[in-house]
Amino acid sequence: MRITKRAALLLVGILLLAHSTPVYAQESTDTLPPFTINTDVSPQWTNINDIQLDLYFENGEAGCSGIITGASGTSSITATFKLERKNSSGWSLEKSWEKSSDDESLSFYGTEDVSRGYTYRLTVITDVTRNGVIETASTWVEDTYS
């Protein structure tokens, strides 16, 4: 009987001690890194099966490529590819390419002179027509030429 009373008193003591302990919270000063698009996640389109972009640097040039694949029955694809450079006030246009295809896919490749130490972004805006319906989509990739 004594052990039961002691155990009960010990349990009540622990509960009272835990209940009376103050807890302080402080706002975190850590900041999260900027949001970037993970190209492994792909949006669900109706007319478009896939959009692939690639941006790489070699010998002072940016290599820019893209493939847009329409769904079966696609009659035309138009696309604007833009290479942009990040500066203190945002993004500035370096080069733009207009491409079109009367097929179910469109392939693009272009180069442009670039400078080390800058971040570049390759964007595409595309209109894909299938069964008379035009679907517009856009995406981008970025990288730093170091």
- Express each pLDDT in 5-61 by its tens digit: 776 666 666 666 555 555 555 555 555 555 555 555 556 899 999 999 999 999 999
Q: Report the topology of domain 48-145.
A: Immunoglobulin-like (2.60.40)
Q: Where are the domains of the chain?
A: 48-145
Gap between the Cα atoms of 11 and 46, Å rounded: 63
8-state DSSP, 17: H
Whether the pTM exceeds 0.85: the reply is no
8-state DSSP, 60: T
pLDDT at position 71 over 60: yes
Q: Which of 39, 50, 60 is nearest to 146 (CA)?
A: 60
Angle at CA of residue 94, ends 91 and 97, nearest 5°: 115
84 contacts 120 by C-beta, under 8 angstroms: yes
In the sheet that holds 61-70, the strands lie side by side as: 48-58, 61-70, 105-113
Share of the chain above pLDDT 70, in %: 73
